[in-house]
Structure formats: C-alpha cells, structure tokens
Structure 1
Amino acid sequence: GLRGGVLPRDVADGLVRSLPVTCRVVWLGPDDGADRLHRAARLAHGNRLAMADSIILTSLLDAGATTVYTTDSDFERYDGPVHVVQL
C-alpha cells in the first residue's frame, strides 16, 4: 500500500512521475484554478465536505466523471450528479 512508507522510494517516485501520463492533472493555481477552487468551496459548504474532498470532487466533475469509487465515507454526504460507490 501507499501508507506508512511501505513502497520503496524508487517505486513511489516512479508512480509520481507517471501521474501526468496516466491521469489528467488538474492545476489549482491562480491563473486557471481560481474558479475551480471557488466551486470546490461552495461544494464543501453545501455538502459539509472537507475542502480536500471537495477539491477532489470538483476535479472529478470537471473531468466528466459519473461514478466515484472510494473508501472515504465522507463522500456519502455529497448530493449531486456523481454516483458515489463506497468500497
């Protein structure tokens, strides 16, 4: 797993380097991310979500996700167009 430093450093570094190739990286800087952060703040407040969770959720919404698979039970509070499946 990724918790507690179980992965060797070189493996973890390789995973981080591969993220832009395997995932869509969403930037949160002032030039292109301010609107996303504003929408995330509204999601956090409206659904009683932590800001980190609402940033993740906003990014998923922007990417067009229809289903989210998660072990984070906080996402059960979300009431919106994305279907949340607890693992």
Structure 2
Amino acid sequence: MKSLKDLKAERLANPAVRQAYDAQASEFELARELIAARTQGDLMQGDTDVASIQKASKTLDRLLAVKGVDVDAVVADFNAARQRAQTPKNPKSKAT
C-alpha cells in the first residue's frame, strides 16, 4: 500500500492535477488561518460563548480583509451549498 506522501507525489506529477491543486492553495491557507484563529480564541466549531465568538469574529474579519475575500460572495456560496445539501437528490414519487 502506498503512503499518502507517495500517492500525493504521484498524482501531482500530472500537470492538470497540479494546476487544480495549486489553484486551491489560497483557500487551504485561509482554512488553516481560520483554524488557528479558533484555536487561539479557545473557540471550537460548536461553541456559542458570545465573548469567544466576538473575539474570533474580529480575527476572522481581519483575515478576510487581508485576503481580499468578498464576504457576501462567500455567504451566498455557503447558502447555495446548504440548499443543495438539503435538496433530495433522487426524490421518490409516490404512485397514486
């Protein structure tokens, strides 16, 4: 069985795969920064402590501004993805 490192190297040898992988680098970097901000603020994904959320929110706002992220577009994409996830893929029709 190949190790993850070997498999990744093998796949990234394909120029099309490498291009797609590199195109997502900034998204992965932002995700790592968001996780670090949560960790620094002692905020877990399910936490609802208002003070922790406000602290993390300020860090998140700063990170998004630095990255030039269009927050409205991110929210729209999130809502569209959530809607797709909630829509049944193969709705079963009932025979009458």
TM-score (structure 2 length as normaliser)? 0.29
Higher helix share: 2
Higher strand share: 1
TM-score (structure 1 length as normaliser)? 0.30
